[in-house]
Structure 1
């Protein structure tokens, strides 16, 4: 079971990159982009989206879903997560060349009862030509 990450340029002609993180099984969520790097009390893997190469980020990514605060069973810690299912992030970018960019993603996906192995620093090559 995995999370699929789909990249698309914005359809309205603006310089934005859209990345959709889609858990491939019902009942799984991903963690907020606002989760601290080390999680909350060591729990959770923050979602990250950045670019290198011929794209430069000119703002922070925003999500199309609102954050929920989840309290895992038996804990007092609340974790910021998105609702179960796909979440699309929009990252404002500036194109600095015409060849290639690398999109770097990190995320953790969990359900009520289990978590997938987290992905950190996965590089997705994107052709700009």
Structure 2
């Protein structure tokens, strides 16, 4: 499943106010990412923060998908995620349930239409093709 990571242009609230976009640009497709529910988030109790392989926050799952993923994480389900790519102001990750590592789509499975960056491989029936 491909999920959007939003908020990459905001600074983190850590001591050094780390730069999320810089961290996204330093990530390679296939790098592992961490998902952490934030039930005490002042803006959204369903928020799920996304962290790079270097443990720097790169943003949040979109508000549409965060409740589903957060609920699965809170139930203790094994959810694995990898960095997929960047397109404009949104990063994308691939998520898989059940403990197996997700994979990027094969080149042959990519849509025939050009969607931008070579590192962006949307699911043909995923949310990024919506109207």
| TM-score bracket for the superposition, by shorter chain length | under 0.3
TM-score, normalised by the number of residues in structure 1: 0.26
- Larger radius of gyration between Structure 1 and Structure 2: 1
Comparing both structures, which one devotes a greater share of its residues to helix? 2
Comparing both structures, which one devotes a greater share of its residues to strand? 1
